[in-house]
Amino acid sequence: MAKRKMSKASKRRIIIFGGLSILVIVYFFITSFQYIININKLGREEKRLANELLALKSKESNLKNEIQKLKDPDYIARYARENYLYSKDGEYVIRIDPKEESEPVDKETTNYKKMVATSIGGIVVILILIKRKK
């Protein structure tokens, strides 16, 4: 087969069109990637907002229920006695404060202790296996 020689103009044309083609392809990949990222971000936000909507609807129903309860005079009287220390005539109010709880447990410290205990247990098991092989 004989090799064909290409003229400089045709080589230049191929280089220019090839370069432009590559640039267009890269541009489409970049914009497609950006759209995919944006769609994922919007999907996460949609889920978050849906959860927030459910929480707000639940809160709304609780508030509507509370409104209905507050229309009842017996409920208002009981609520005032329990929360604001009101009493009926002839009643004495004795308030007993709940015990103060001890310091809250730090979850990070608890997780660290579990991790250390697990690591030590793993080391002991490895040492036992090594000793048995000898």
pLDDT at residue number 100: 66
86 within a domain of the structure (yes/no): no
119 within a domain of the structure (yes/no): no
23 within a domain of the structure (yes/no): yes
Ranges of residues in the chain with a pLDDT under 70 are 1-3, 100-107, 134
Residues 25-39: pLDDT tens digits?
999 999 999 999 999
30 within a domain of the structure (yes/no): yes
110 within a domain of the structure (yes/no): no
- In sequence order, the 6+-apart residues with CB closer than 8 A to the CB of 80 are 86
* Angle, CA of 75, 77 and 83, to the nearest 5°: 95
54 within a domain of the structure (yes/no): yes
Containing structural domain, residue 14? 10-71
